[in-house]
Structure 1
């Protein structure tokens, strides 16, 4: 197995981040510094990062219904509550992507760096669905068409999306990108300010049966469906 992949599977970091850790000379294999992320290793090798041994740990994936005011990080220097604190696991979990502090809804946490990379890398186009309550409440069809076709933001045009008005003032939007505060900025671009934002689906997984702040560990079948999410042509 490639060294970067081994580190990702051990929960050290995502595969891309693990490649940087290796390239920085922070990893040893059998006491020798290795800087090639493609270096081949297996469970019999003594792999260490910054001198600390790395061993594959049981991989877990959790779904959390994030409440407002909770930050999507493993720790926070300002003392705010974090999503990791809401999950009862003995493993070192990290959020898969982010929801801003004011937003609520489905967020995944895992110690499987490879899966996290699979779910967040743009080439896999894993869909996320949101419901945004907006002002003004009357959302014309032209605004919905613009959201579907893509809108121009300061960091480029968005990819085509699915958009519909569930009821006056409530838009359901499905995207496969993950730019910072993207849904809020898309709605603002078509003249509507988001006052509440909830993520209701991540790939095939929907926010169902979880109260705000509630979390549950995903089954093996659910994790496998997540691994296979995205277009069939994605590598």
Structure 2
């Protein structure tokens, strides 16, 4: 027996958070009965579970690494007709959902999957999954400015956690620098706001690593399936990132 939202997420219906919204909205039935409580458990091998009147089906799990270009929305659809990440994966038949998001102007490593349980763990509010970016910023920050980011810097929504920061590339004329920064939080536009706070606005932002996985030579706009070893690393990162009571959920 598993919690209903976990069953739905594992079936590729949506992220676990969205599945919870579907349940509370009365869109889910178990054996013909509407379920609106999140604590209800079911057995997908025995119970008939439907969403909006349609039975769920257990899809095979798929895990994709995608090199998101700048100017693409991290979503499966957009009511304004803008390009979304799934436009680049149309040959994949399974329903895919992004693990977290990258801003419209940010490029680089984005994971997509129909494994809602794993995605939930990786995106948990108290997670500490490492994410590394190459941030090209205006001018060259002095070492003491980078030390502020390393210690944690105050933003409008509170202090950031300590970050790993080092120079990656420096323009000989001092017009810009590319900084490697690793954070373990998931605030909105966090990296950009951190560099704004030290008065070195970001010109270009690219995520090169997530949860121990690296973009390496994957070309912009291209995708590939994760290897078994990469998936193992991702599961390890997910289990380490979630409080014990959550990771033990049946």
Distance of aligned partners of 1:232 and 1:107 in 2 relative to their CA distance in 1, 3 Å threshold:
closer
Aligned residue in 1 for 2:126:
123
Aligned residue in 2 for 1:147:
149
Tell me if structure 1 keeps the 8 A contact 2:118–2:238.
Answer: no
Q: Deviations over 1:86-130 (max 9, x none)?
A: 123101111111111111110011111111111111322111000
- Supply the distance in 2 between the matched residues of 1:200 and 1:232 (Cα, whole angstroms): 21
| 1:101 aligned to which of 75, 99, 104 | 104
Tell me if structure 1 keeps the 8 A contact 2:122–2:241.
Answer: no
Deviates more, 1:221-230 or 1:208-217: 221-230
How large is the RMSD of aligned CA atoms in angstroms?
Answer: 1.5
Aligned residue in 2 for 1:177:
185
| 2:234 aligned to which of 213, 226, 233 | 226
Aligned residue in 2 for 1:47:
49
- Supply the distance in 2 between the matched residues of 1:192 and 1:61 (Cα, whole angstroms): 36
Normalised by the size of structure 1, how large is the TM-score? 0.94
- Supply the distance in 1 between the matched residues of 2:227 and 2:12 (Cα, whole angstroms): 19
Mapped pair 1:135 → 2:143: no
Structure 2 SS opposite 1:75: coil
- Supply the distance in 2 between the matched residues of 1:133 and 1:124 (Cα, whole angstroms): 26
Displacement, 1:227?
A: 1.3
**Large movers: runs of 4+ above 3 Å:** 230-234
Displacement, 1:219?
A: 2.4
Normalised by the size of structure 2, how large is the TM-score? 0.89
Displacement, 1:198?
A: 0.4
Could you tell me which runs of 5 or more consecutive residues in structure 1 were left unpaired when the two chains were aligned.
none
Q: Deviations over 1:192-232 (max 9, x none)?
A: 01001000000110001311111001123322210111684
- Supply the distance in 2 between the matched residues of 1:132 and 1:108 (Cα, whole angstroms): 20
- Supply the distance in 2 between the matched residues of 1:52 and 1:34 (Cα, whole angstroms): 15
Q: Deviations over 1:146-192 (max 9, x none)?
A: 10111111121111111111122111110111111110110010110
Q: Deviations over 1:70-91 (max 9, x none)?
A: 1111011221111111123101
Aligned residue in 1 for 2:197:
189
Displacement, 1:23?
A: 2.2
Q: How many residues align?
A: 234
Could you tell me which runs of 5 or more consecutive residues in structure 2 were left unpaired when the two chains were aligned.
171-176, 245-250
Mapped pair 1:71 → 2:73: yes
